[in-house]
Amino acid sequence: MVDALPHSQTAREWSGKVAAFVLFCEDFDPAEDLGDVIVRLAGLLAIAPSPVAKLLGSQPRRGVVDRQLAAEAFESAALTLVGSEIGYLLSRSPNGTAVASTWIPGMGEEHTLKAADPVPALCGAIALTCLSIVSAHPSVSRSPAS
């Protein structure tokens, strides 16, 4: 699980961690634990800068995601993290490779990520969308951790 970042964490530092997470998703090995992808994204969203936190609204209770992970409902857990303000499109080929796109109405662009599985594709696309929110608000500071 991603530990909470220190209160001195800046939006730039958070963005760097999210960018590293996007690379992790792009390079995801299907032999790895899909639950780790969900847990890492949930940890990053829990400490997101205020514009991201405001757009995503209240994140699901940790228990909901934990139950989905315990049931190996990884795609459902990823969708739980999307939030109602982010649109998404998820496509999976017969060989398992997936492409996910996310967008926010009114922001003008969508963010697409290709990965070896639908879960890292969707989580990576969500992360890219979050990065675009932060870059649209360059003077933000990190919101307190929940």
Which tens digits make up the pLDDT trace of 74-91? Answer: 999 998 888 777 899 999
Which tens digits make up the pLDDT trace of 99-123? Answer: 999 998 888 789 999 999 999 999 9
The pLDDT value recorded for residue 62 is 75
The pLDDT value recorded for residue 17 is 96
Number of compact structural domains in the chain: 1
Whether residue 5 is contained in a domain is answered as: no
Whether residue 127 is contained in a domain is answered as: yes
Whether residue 76 is contained in a domain is answered as: yes
Whether residue 6 is contained in a domain is answered as: no
The pLDDT value recorded for residue 138 is 58
Please give the residue range of the domain that contains residue 100.
Answer: 11-136
pTM: 0.85
Whether residue 146 is contained in a domain is answered as: no
Q: SS3 for the chain, per residue?
A: CCCCCCCCCEHHHHHHHHHHHHHHHHCCCCCCCHHHHHHHHHHHHHCCEHHHHHHHCCCCCHHHHHHHHHCCCHHHHHHHHHCCCCEEEEEECCCCCEEEEEECCCCCCEEEEEECCHHHHHHHHHHHHHHHHHHHCCCCEECCCC
Whether residue 23 is contained in a domain is answered as: yes
